[in-house]
Amino acid sequence: MTKNFETLAEHLNVTFSDISLLRTACTHRSYINENRDSGLEHNERLEFLGDAVLELIVTSFLFRKYPKKAEGELTAFRSAIVNTVSLAKVGDKIGLNDYMLLSKGESKDTGRARAIILANAVEAVIGAIYMDSGYDTSANFISEHILNIIDIDEIVKNKTWIDAKSKFQEKSQEKVGLTPSYKTLKETGPDHDKKFTLAVFLGDVQIATGEGKSKQEAEQKAAENALVVKKW
């Protein structure tokens, strides 16, 4: 199916002089590998640029919004706004999924791998806007589609910038005086597509389990589930 990137630009409320920049922002490396004669380029250079633009604009926003917060806290807030999970949600909300140019294999993936692709595409779109229209238009886009979507006050109030594993450890030490431990329960799948199941314990008591494509991801999931179990 042909993608109409003029329609996407209209949806994003951005006017492009060079619409090919937006198409490039939505083009994943896997698509190029599968369509070598397409004449297109992948979005990684635009992603690199957009990442820097996004970081600058979000940093400037936080610097003004929280004049009494220390550098370490501002860094943590920024990480919560521009992390993969947050940006993937933004990408989904603005409809990028419908415009991504992916290989047949990547187009079937709906898990974390797709979330990473979508988050990277959001950064690439920002890079495309910056290249086409400059700083002010990029800042307007980020304000409208990222800063207005993410509840920053809720992040600050509930400390949701802290990752689940760190938060569960903090709560465990505070409430029961114990440091959580993690144990691998099983590994499944071939080397290139493994899935790990881990459990988190307080002392000898298993609190919850989690699955992921890496041990680190499974630990985070186990910690998320443990926070729910303990109602922390």
Query: Which residues are known to be catalytic?
Result: 51, 123
**CB within 8 Å of 14: residues ≥ 6 apart:** 129, 133, 137, 141
**Backbone φ/ψ region at 177: left (φ over 0), alpha (ψ -120 to 50), beta:** left
Distance, CA of 192 to CA of 73 (rounded, Å):
37
Q: What tokens does 97 get? A: 């999924």
Distance, CA of 101 to CA of 95 (rounded, Å):
13
Distance, CA of 63 to CA of 14 (rounded, Å):
26
Strands 181-188 and 205-212 come out as unpaired
Q: Which of 115, 117, 125, 104 is nearest to 23 (CA)?
A: 125
Q: Which of 32, 30, 14 is nearest to 117 (CA)?
A: 30
- Please give the sequence-ordered ranges of beta strands (E in DSSP) within 171-219, or none if there are none: 181-188, 195-202, 205-212
End-to-end CA distance of the chain: 47
**CB within 8 Å of 21: residues ≥ 6 apart:** 46, 128, 131, 132
